[in-house]
Structure 1
Amino acid sequence: MSTTVPLAVQVVVVTGAARGVGAQLARKLAQRGARVALVGLEPEELKAVAAQCGPDARYWEADVTDLDALSAVARQIQDHYGRIDTVVANAGIALGGPLQDSDPRAFERVIEVNLLGSVATARAFLPALVFSRGYLLQIASLAALTPAPLMAAYCASKAGVEAFAHSLRAEVAYQGVKVGVGYLSWTDTDMVRGADQDTVLAQMRSRLPWPANKTYPLAPAVDRLVAGIARRSPHVYAQAWLRGMQSVRGVLPGLIATVGARDVARLAPRLKATAATRLRPVGAGGAADTAARRAAVE
C-alpha cells in the first residue's frame, strides 16, 4: 500500500548523484521542495549538481562499496539535516560482452558496485530510516525482469538488487520503513550513450523487440520516479510499459535463450575481434572504470 508523503517536508539522499538519473532526480526532487543530499565519487560534478538544487542541497563523496565511509556519511547527513526521510540507491556501473572474454575483476566489480553497494547503502542508512519511518527506493532495471546475453554481470546484479529489496521490505515493515524497487529501460544517460559506442553491442540491442529496443528520454523517466518516491510505492516504473513485463517475465528466459543464441552466434567473430575494447566496466560518459573504483550513475 502506498502512502503519499509531501516531498517538501522530506530530506532525500541520492547515491550516484553526479550524473544521469541520479543528478536529474536530485534536481527534480529539489524543484518539488525536498532537501537533497548527493552522494557519489565525482566531487566537481556533485558540487555543480548541488548548486542547481538550491541552498539546502549538500554533497558528500563516498564509494558505495565502502561500508565504513558510507556509514560515516549517513551520520553526517543526519546530523546536518536532523533526519533522513528517503534514500535512493542509484549508483551503478555496467559491463557488456561475452563472459569468456570479460576480465574477472571487472565482472566482479559490477556485482560489487551494483549489488553489494546497494546492500551497503541499506546498511548505512537504515538506522536513519527507522528513526524517520522512511522509504528506501532501490533502482533496478529492465535487466532485473529479463535476462540478456552479453550482459551477464549487469543482469545478475540488477536481478540481485530486486530480490534484495523485496526481501528487505518484509524485514523492515514492522519498523515503519517502506522499500520500493524502481525499474528503468534504456534511458538517455551517459552510461547508455557510452555503451552504444560499442557498435557490436549496439547492433545486438537494436534487434530487441519493441519497445525494449528504444532509448527513452531522461526527464519523463525521472518524473515517474519522483512520483513513486512521493507515494512511497513498492514498485516504480520509469517507462509505463515495464509494468506489463511483470506478467510475462516467466517465459522470457526460454524465449531469449532461443533468439539470443542465434544473434550471439552470428556476432561471435566480431565480438571476439573487439573483446579488448570492453575489458572494464563502463559508467558515466562511456569512460572505462580504469581504477575499478569509480561508481558511475545509471
Structure 2
Amino acid sequence: MRARTSLEGKVAAVTGAARGVGELLARKLAARGAKIALIGLEPQELQRVSALLPTESGQWHADVTDVVAMERVAREVTERFGTVDIVVANAGVAQGGPFLDSDAHSWSRVVEVNLIGSAVTSRAFLPALLQSRGYLLQIASLAAITPAPMMSAYCASKSGVEAFAHCLRAEVGHRGVKVGVGYLSWTDTDMVRGADEDDVMRELRQRLPWPANRTYPLGPAVDRIVQGIERRSSHVYGQGWLRGMHAVRGYLPGIIAAVGQREMRRFEPRLAATRGARGGLVGAGGAADEKTRAERGA
C-alpha cells in the first residue's frame, strides 16, 4: 500500500461536481487543502458548492461529452490555477428497465456521458497531468464488475470506463501519470434514489445477495475515494467488500444469468403493466442532463 501524499495546495478538477459523489468529494478534497475546479451542468449548484469550500475554487459549466467545451475548460482551469494535479472523471447518468423497453436516445446518452464523456475529460486534461505527473481517477462501479438485468446501458458504460482506464494506465504510466479506477456499490445519491422510484428496480435490487442488496452511506465511500487519491491508487473501493469481487468476477455472468432469468420471469407482469412509464434518465443529475440537451436542441 502506497503512503499517502499531502493534498495541500494541489489542484483537483472534478466532473459531475454539482451533487452526490462529486460534491462531497470536492468538499473533502478542499478540507485537505486542495484547490478545486468544479465542472458540471448546473451553474447554480456549482456556485453553491464553491461557496462551501474553504480553499480557492472555481466553477465551469460544461457537458463532458462536448470536446470543444472540455478543451476550453481544461485550458481555463490550468490558466486559473497554474497546474492540474488531480482529475476525477465522475460525471455520470443512469437509466433503468428492460433493454427492449428503453428509450433509444436515453440508452445511448448513458453510454455517451459515462464512457465517451470520461474519454473526452481525459483527453482534455492529460496534457496538464503530463506536466504535473499527476493522477487521474475514473469513477466506475460495481456495474463494471458484474452484469445486472435492467441496467444494460449503465453496466456497458461502466465496464467500458474500467477498460479505458486500464488501457490508459499502461500508456501514460511511464510518463509519471497514475491512473486509478474507483468502484462504488449502491451509494446514497440522487441517482440511486431516482432509480429506486421505480418499484420493480427497487425490489429487484433488494433481492440481490448480501452485501450488494443495500444502499451504503455516501460519506464513508467518499472518504475511501479521498484516501485512494492521496495514495494515487490503481484501484479504489468505496465499500471494502468490493475488493473481493475481483476474485470471483469470472463466475458472476453465469450466476447473474441464472438468477436474473428467474427474477425477470417473476416481474414480467408488472413490467408489462408499466412499460410506458420508464425509459428516461433517473435522478436529479439525469434531469439536468435532459434539460441541457433540450435547451440546445440535441
Alignment of 1:103-118 (within 5 A): 103-118=103-118
- 2:4 corresponds in structure 1 to 4
- 2:134 corresponds in structure 1 to 134
Range with bigger deviation, 233-242 or 274-283: 274-283
- Contact kept, 8 Å, 1:3 with 1:233, in 2: the verdict is no
Instruction: State the 1:290 CA deviation.
Output: 3.5
Q: C-alpha distance in 1, partners of 2:288/2:260?
A: 26
Q: C-alpha distance in 2, partners of 1:218/1:205?
A: 18
Q: 1:293 to 1:3 in 2, by over 3 A?
A: farther
Q: C-alpha distance in 2, partners of 1:3/1:71?
A: 33
- Contact kept, 8 Å, 2:93 with 2:285, in 1: the verdict is no
- Contact kept, 8 Å, 2:147 with 2:256, in 1: the verdict is yes
Instruction: State the 1:269 CA deviation.
Output: 1.6
Say which SS state the counterpart of residue 115 (structure 1) adopts: helix
Q: 1:13 to 1:289 in 2, by over 3 A?
A: closer
Instruction: State the 1:292 CA deviation.
Output: 6.8
- 2:60 corresponds in structure 1 to 60
- 2:284 corresponds in structure 1 to 284
AA paired with 1:264?
Answer: M
Q: C-alpha distance in 2, partners of 1:124/1:264?
A: 41
- Contact kept, 8 Å, 2:36 with 2:55, in 1: the verdict is no
Instruction: State the 1:289 CA deviation.
Output: 4.7
Alignment of 1:1-298 (within 5 A): 2=2, 4-284=4-284, 287=287, 289-291=289-291, 293=293
Instruction: State the 1:293 CA deviation.
Output: 3.4
Q: 1:287 to 1:131 in 2, by over 3 A?
A: same
Q: C-alpha distance in 2, partners of 1:271/1:179?
A: 40
Q: C-alpha distance in 2, partners of 1:55/1:245?
A: 37
Q: C-alpha distance in 1, partners of 2:287/2:199?
A: 16
Instruction: State the 1:285 CA deviation.
Output: 6.4
The two structures have a TM-score, normalised by structure 2, of 0.96
Q: C-alpha distance in 2, partners of 1:292/1:46?
A: 15
Q: C-alpha distance in 1, partners of 2:61/2:3?
A: 31
Aligned length: 294
Q: C-alpha distance in 1, partners of 2:86/2:180?
A: 11
- Contact kept, 8 Å, 2:145 with 2:245, in 1: the verdict is yes
Say which SS state the counterpart of residue 88 (structure 1) adopts: strand
Range with bigger deviation, 183-192 or 283-292: 283-292
Instruction: State the 1:9 CA deviation.
Output: 2.8
- Contact kept, 8 Å, 1:110 with 1:154, in 2: the verdict is yes
Give ranges in structure 2 of 5+ residues lacking alignment.
none
- Contact kept, 8 Å, 1:190 with 1:286, in 2: the verdict is no
Q: C-alpha distance in 1, partners of 2:36/2:288?
A: 28
Say which SS state the counterpart of residue 181 (structure 1) adopts: strand
Give ranges in structure 1 of 5+ residues lacking alignment.
none
- What is the Cα-based RMSD across aligned positions, in Å? 1.4
AA paired with 1:120?
Answer: V
The two structures have a TM-score, normalised by structure 1, of 0.96
Query: Taking CA–CA contacts closer than 8 Å with sequence separation of 6 or more, which of the two structures ends up with the larger relative contact order?
Result: 1
